[in-house]
């Protein structure tokens, strides 16, 4: 059971989503405006937030960007805005998923379960937790799900952490987008291979240089760090 905040101004949708998640044994709190969830966050940090983009007292994208810049909370956008640019914006902000309205109850519950699972469980154990590349050092702590570059902590989303650990655990072998979707994101919906590309782009930016993760055209990605 997880504690989930649902931020949605449409009362019918909010109540329906709350009901679906409660049937899946989650504890759910619903909010119609950003003001309410901001107040709640001062008292308690949930296991996951489901967030609409267009809200009466603010923009969900702006709120999420500010929130995720200071806290690591799994977050899923749910919005009627279905363009590719909107979805990419959501992932670039740091969301773990983006679901477009209208959505099926089963899909919503599966997406929530996938995000909760990858935010709390490790992937395959790496042979070595320290790597080097062009004079830089990258270290991962699998128990705490944290990574540091040259001694400075990296602020990674749950998806970015799982992808980094999965790539580094494969010893320089090439992995496909489909493998990353299945092993790290734990869903495989049509068109979501672009989601992997967005997570890789964000991860490269946080690692400071693209060389840590090589693109193998027509196939996938490969981690280029050398174990130390």
Contact between 162 and 175 (Cβ < 8 Å): no
Strand bridging mode 48-51 / 75-79: parallel
Report d(CA 219, CA 179) in Å as an integer: 11
- 210-219 pLDDT, tens digit each: 899 999 988 8
Architecture label for domain 3-120: 3-Layer(aba) Sandwich (3.40)
Residue 115 has a pLDDT of 87
% pLDDT > 70, the chain:
93
Report d(CA 170, CA 179) in Å as an integer: 12
Domain ranges of the chain: 3-120, 130-227
Pick the closest to residue 13 from 66, 54, 65, 61 (CA basis). 54
Give the fold, CATH level 3, of 130-227: Arc Repressor Mutant, subunit A (1.10.10)
Residue 191 has a pLDDT of 53
Mean pLDDT, to the nearest integer, of 5-26? 94
Strand partners, 133: 136
Strand bridging mode 3-7 / 27-31: parallel
Residue 214 has a pLDDT of 94
Mean pLDDT, to the nearest integer, of 152-161? 87
Report d(CA 149, CA 215) in Å as an integer: 21
DSSP secondary structure of 58-88:
EEHHHHHHHHHTT----EEEEES---HHHHH
Mean pLDDT, to the nearest integer, of 146-162? 88
The more confident residue out of 116 and 121 is 116
Residue 126 has a pLDDT of 44
Radius of gyration in angstroms for the set of CA atoms belonging to the chain, rounded to a whole number: 18
């Amino acid at each position: 059971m997880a504690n989930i905040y649902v931020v949605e101004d449409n009362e019918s949708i909010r109540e329906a989503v709350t009901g679906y998640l409660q049937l899946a044994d989650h504890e759910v709190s619903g909010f119609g405006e950003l003001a309410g969830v901001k107040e709640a966050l001062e008292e308690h940090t949930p296991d996951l937030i489901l967030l609409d983009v267009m809200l009466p007292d603010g923009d969900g994208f702006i709120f999420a960007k500010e929130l995720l810049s200071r806290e690591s909370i799994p977050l899923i956008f749910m919005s009627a805005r279905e363009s590719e640019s909107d979805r990419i914006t959501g992932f670039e902000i740091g969301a773990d998923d983006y679901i477009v309205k209208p959505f099926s109850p089963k899909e919503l519950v599966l997406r929530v379960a996938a995000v909760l699972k990858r935010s709390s469980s490790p992937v395959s154990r790496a042979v070595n937790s320290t790597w080097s590349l062009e004079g830089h050092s990258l270290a991962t702590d699998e128990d705490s799900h944290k990574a540091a570059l040259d001694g400075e902590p990296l602020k990674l989303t749950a998806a970015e952490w799982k992808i980094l650990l999965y790539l580094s655990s494969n010893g320089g072998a090439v992995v496909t987008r489909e493998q990353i979707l299945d092993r790290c994101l734990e869903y495989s919906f049509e068109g979501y291979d672009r989601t992997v590309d967005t997570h890789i782009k964000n991860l490269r930016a946080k690692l400071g240089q693209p060389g840590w993760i090589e693109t193998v055209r027509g196939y996938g990605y490969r981690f280029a760090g050398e174990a130390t």
